[in-house]
Structures are given as structure tokens and as C-alpha cells.
Amino acid sequence: VASRVPFLVTAAPVSHSPFARPFSTSPTAILVTVDIEPSRVDAFRKAMAVDAAGSRLEEGCRRFDLLEDKDVANRFVFYEVYDDDEAIKFHKTTDHYKAWADFKAEGGVLNQSVVMTSAVDFTE
């Protein structure tokens, strides 16, 4: 009886999409989940509009999306993809990142979690 393997893990990124972009190393995808104080949501959206727009112009940033949870009020997820650790370090030095950092320092983030991943099958 043959056993079923639920997924295949390979040593290098593999994609079967005709639109997949080849990378010499896997890009890093970051998922940041935040719960925002309800009274600060408008200020959060303004800060993130600045951060997202600027991030999308960075050479090493492949994707920067801000998503809003449909089931949990005031919960947002940032989906960011960078070429490598150097691109992530650069991102944190930019003025547009400062918009997010300043918002966070002023209060309003009730909870935050960050998950760092390797993009295994990634398209832009």
C-alpha cells in the first residue's frame, strides 16, 4: 500500500507557475498581525498608507499588502516580501517605515505578532 505524502519540501524554491520569478535564494515573507485600539484605527490607516506606498517603491521589497481581518474587528495583517535580510534591514531605515514606528510608539497597538517565513512557491 503506497503512503500519501501531504506535501513535498524541497531544498530550493520550486514553482510551476508560468509567472513565477526565479530567485537565487528564497525571499523572506513576513506576516505581521496587529490588533489596533478602535479609536486609533484612522491614524493607523494613515500611517500604513504612507508605509505601504513607500515600501512598494523599495528595490528589495517584492510585495507589501495591508489586509483587514473580516472576522475580528480592528485586526490587520501586513504581508511583506523582501529579497533578503539586507532588504529588510534597509526597509527599517526609511522615512515611510518611520510612519508605522511613530504610530506604534504613540500607542494604539494592542497586540502584535510577527511570523518570518521563506517564500517557497512565490509569484509577484
Tell me: pLDDT of 10 over 50: no
Higher pLDDT, 92 or 4: 92
CA angle 121, 66, 52 (to 5 degrees): 100
Range from 8-12, 33-37, 41-45 carrying the lowest mean pLDDT: 8-12
Mean residue pLDDT of the chain comes to 84
For the stretch 14-34, what's the b/e string if a residue is b when 16 or more beta carbons lie within 10 angstroms of its beta carbon? eeeeeeeeeeeebbbbbebbb
